[in-house]
Amino acid sequence: MSTDNLPQNPGQPRRKPRVAVVFGGRSSEHGISVVTAGAVLKAIDRTMYEVLPIGITSDGRWALTADEPERMAISDRRTPNVDQLAESAEGTVVLPVDPASREVVFNEPGSVPKALGEVDVVFPVLHGPYGEDGTLQGLLELSGVPYVGAGVLASAVGQDKEYMKRVFSSFGLKVGPYLVVRPREWEQDAAGARKRIVEFAGEHGWPLFVKPARAGSSIGITRLDGLDGLDEAIDEARRHDPKFLIEAGITGREIECGVLEFADGPRASVPAEIPPPQAHAYYDFEAKYIDSTPGLVPAPLTDEETAEVRRLAVDAFEAASCEGLVRADFFLTEDGEFVINEINTMPGFTPISMYPQMWAASGVSYPELVDLLLQAALRRSTGLR
């Protein structure tokens, strides 16, 4: 790992790059973000990097947290939270607002501000709104601090299922049938929106999936096999995002593929298959994280199918102008066609998550994966992407 372009003090020994791992956040995926951060903190090679863990509480306070990955795991079917890890109930971590400085400061009421040192790169492992959607990326651009993963535009596109599908369609990637209901339409003409949904169901059949437009980890999603429960499903989706989607069910196998940015460009991992979970109607939050439904890695595909889904995963990465990493999710239909469902610009990164499993099967271990992402971030400078 080269540190030639890191800021150095003349006459001082060359120092290790300093990584701020930022996690938690205000979204409904707060707990999964903490679990992901624990795995990343455990994997970072401390002989190569210095680490500063920073947690964002569910109400948005940036907190200095303990560097204790073992406390950041799912326990008794419950996810951890930043408040349990914060070293102070009121102290706040402040990022630099001057691109000429990368000094991070800790402020606590009644105390003199404490300098925490410079940060060379941020590893943001937040999921969902206020972290994975371009908001945090914009703050880091303003601060002049390099960071892992997609930039502002790609992060926003990757978070909004409507515009993600629009981008993919414009680049020739096949997406499934869907319907968007925006906040103003629902608030001003709910009856008209319901009519459109009924007509959509008549055209495409059941099941339908009601989804928040900007959420992840299958949170807020309801599968409907008929009109019964439609209003409850919409209420649940809108609890996470005032804009929601109705998607037609697609008969097919669920196939995922990881994309990772190397020095010579993005490459795709071996794909994985998510078999239908035995105890769940679909691959929901509990199937993913609590009951840990195992995936098949590598997916039992033909050589031609494997090559095609890897090509499409890289195409999706490029279509959304992504950087660093992406997990691309597809359906392989009964007629042999791949339909892209979505991408995740900061996919689940826990030890049981599919993204690191796919790369492990491709010959890249979890610590190597983390190092490659940090190297890619350090190669880039902030600015328009």
Cα of first residue to Cα of last residue in the chain, in angstroms, is 24
From CA 117, how far away is CA 202, in angstroms rounded?
A: 60
Please name the helix (run of DSSP H) or strand (run of DSSP E) that holds residue 123, with its range, or none.
Answer: strand 121-124
pLDDT value at residue 3: 44
Which two tokens mark 62?
Answer: 């940036």
For 360-385, the pLDDT digits (tens) are 999 999 999 999 999 999 988 655 55
Q: How far is CA 383 from the centre of its chain?
A: 21
Task: Considering only residues 166 and 15, tell me which one the structure prediction assigns the higher pLDDT.
Answer: 166
The band of 177, judged by pLDDT with boundaries at 50, 70 and 90, is: very high
Task: Determine the residue type at 308.
Answer: E
pLDDT for residue 383: 53
Residue 111 is predicted with a pLDDT of 87
pLDDT for the residue numbered 274? 94
The pTM score is: 0.88
Question: Residue 76 contacts by C-beta under 8 Å, 6 or more apart in sequence?
Answer: none
Residue 253 three-state SS: strand
- Is the pLDDT confidence value at 1 over 50? no
How far apart are the C-alpha atoms of 164 and 154, rounded to whole Å?
9
Q: Which residue is listed with tokens 């949170």?
A: 219
Torsion sign (Cα): 254, 319, 247, 259 = positive
CATH pick for 18-148 out of 3.40.50.20, 3.90.870.20, 3.30.40.230, 3.90.1150.110: 3.40.50.20
Q: What DSSP assignment string belongs to 14-48?
A: PPPPEEEEEEE-SSTTHHHHHHHHHHHHHHS-TTT
Fold designation for 158-174+250-375? D-amino Acid Aminotransferase; Chain A, domain 1 (3.30.470)
Domain ranges of the chain: 18-148, 158-174+250-375, 178-248
Return the pLDDT at 291: 52
Flag the least confident range among 43-57, 191-205, 271-285, 315-329.
271-285
Confidence at residue 146, expressed as pLDDT on a 0 to 100 scale: 93
Superfamily of domain 178-248: ATP-grasp fold, A domain (3.30.1490.20)
Identify the pLDDT of residue 96. Answer: 77
**Among 51-60, 112-121, 205-214, 309-318, which stretch is predicted with the lowest mean pLDDT?**
112-121
Tell me the pLDDT tens digit for each residue of 186-231: 999 999 999 999 999 999 999 999 999 998 767 899 999 999 999 9
DSSP bridge pairs for 65: 86
CA 280, 30, 238, 155 torsion-angle sign: negative
CA dihedral 286, 70, 356, 45 (to 10 degrees): 170
Alpha-carbon distance 297 to 329, whole Å? 14
